[in-house]
Amino acid sequence: MNSGKEQQTRSLFVGSLAKGFQVLEAFESGRRELGITDIARITGLEKSAASRIVQTMFKLGYLSQNPANRRYSLSAKMLTGAFNFLNANPVIEVAMPRLVGLSDAIGRSVALCILSDIEVIYAVRLERREFYYPTGHIGERQPVYCTSGGRAILSALPRETARDLLERSDRRKLTPHTKTDLDELMDELKKVSRQSYCIQVEEYISNEINFSAPVINGEAEPVAAVVVSQLFRKKDVAELEAELAPLLLQTVNEISIALGAPRKALQSLIPNN
């Protein structure tokens, strides 16, 4: 029975389309321009196949070519897909005015990230000048295991699901403070679940502290996380926590309520008095 379903799934899989996405995904951060040989090497495609796909993407307007060196880059047309996603996503529609209000109230950078397997993808970023850094763009991907947004979402998932995502993550030390041990990370998720928000200090980027909390939908599932970031100047973490956590939790509660989250699911998001 299962083999029949698998066969049906395989019959519905369009390999050439998948290869096209492989080519687009070859242009990761830091790979601004690529030649056909580069694309074939990165994707594992035959050079002739890579060339045909690149020419198709170029003619459709999704790739641009530098006439000086004949190398390719992503075109501005790629932004249309991002706009359509942001414009159609109810979570972002509901969250945006509340994120602006939170950023104005606390004077810190605020973001919204969404889970994508073992990574989170940033869908909204409201940067403050003191915290701007070049990679802080919409669409940036970060690992779940060492980011506050990732841990906030994981803390609201079933434990076995969260553990599976952590097990499949490439848990490397990105800074001297990055936690990588699986049991230690699971204990961290329990702590986040108990207090309803995550505090992460210098685990993804040095001199950075992040506070985050999960956004819950009408099915009581975590669909995103709100993240507050600032430079970490060795200020007392407890002082920052007292200042930022209540407003962060108020914001995620408002977004979750607007998404229809059941009251029972919201109880854990209400700060302790």
The backbone torsions φ and ψ at residue 186, rounded to the nearest 5 degrees and listed phi first, read -65, -40
Domain residue extents for the chain: 15-75, 81-269
What percent of the chain is modeled with pLDDT above 90? 67
Q: Which residue has the tokens 């909204």?
A: 124
Sign of the C-alpha dihedral, residues 69, 42, 144, 76? positive
Radius of gyration of the chain (CA): 21
Containing 195, the helix (H) or strand (E) segment is helix 182-195
Q: For residues 241 and 245, give the distance between their C-alpha atoms in angstroms, rounded to a whole number.
A: 5
Average pLDDT over residues 179-206: 94
Query: What is the rounded CA–CA span in Å between residue 163 and residue 145?
Result: 10
Q: What is the pLDDT of residue 29?
A: 66
79's tokens: 């932004």
Cβ-based neighbour number of residue 158 at 10 Å: 9
Contact between residue 256 and residue 212 where contact means Cβ atoms under 8 Å apart: no
CATH architecture, range 81-269:
2-Layer Sandwich (3.30)
Residue 268: closest CA among 205, 199, 222, 207: 222
**CA–CA separation, 112 and 95 (whole Å):** 8
271 falls in which pLDDT band (50, 70, 90)? very low
15-75 to CATH, choices 3.90.550.10, 1.10.10.10, 1.10.3430.10, 1.10.510.10? 1.10.10.10
Question: At 197, which amino acid appears?
Answer: Y
Is the pLDDT assigned to residue 270 strictly greater than 50? no
CB contact at 8 A, 156 and 205: no
Quote the tokens at residue 145.
């295991």
Bridge partners of 72, per DSSP, are 34, 65
**Range with the lowest mean pLDDT among 149-153, 241-245, 263-267?**
263-267
Q: What does the pLDDT look like over 82-129, one tens digit per residue?
A: 888 888 889 999 999 999 999 999 999 999 999 999 999 999 988 876
Residues linked to residue 198 through DSSP beta bridges, in sequence order: 212
Mean of the per-residue pLDDT values for the chain? 88
Token reading at 94: 């509901």
The tens digit of pLDDT for each residue in 45-85 reads 999 999 999 999 999 999 999 999 999 999 999 888 888 88
Calculate what percentage of the chain has a pLDDT beyond 70: 89
Q: What is the pLDDT of residue 1?
A: 47
Model pLDDT, residue 112: 96
Which whole number is the average pLDDT over 200-213?
A: 93
pTM (two decimals): 0.82
Q: What pLDDT was estimated at residue 80?
A: 86
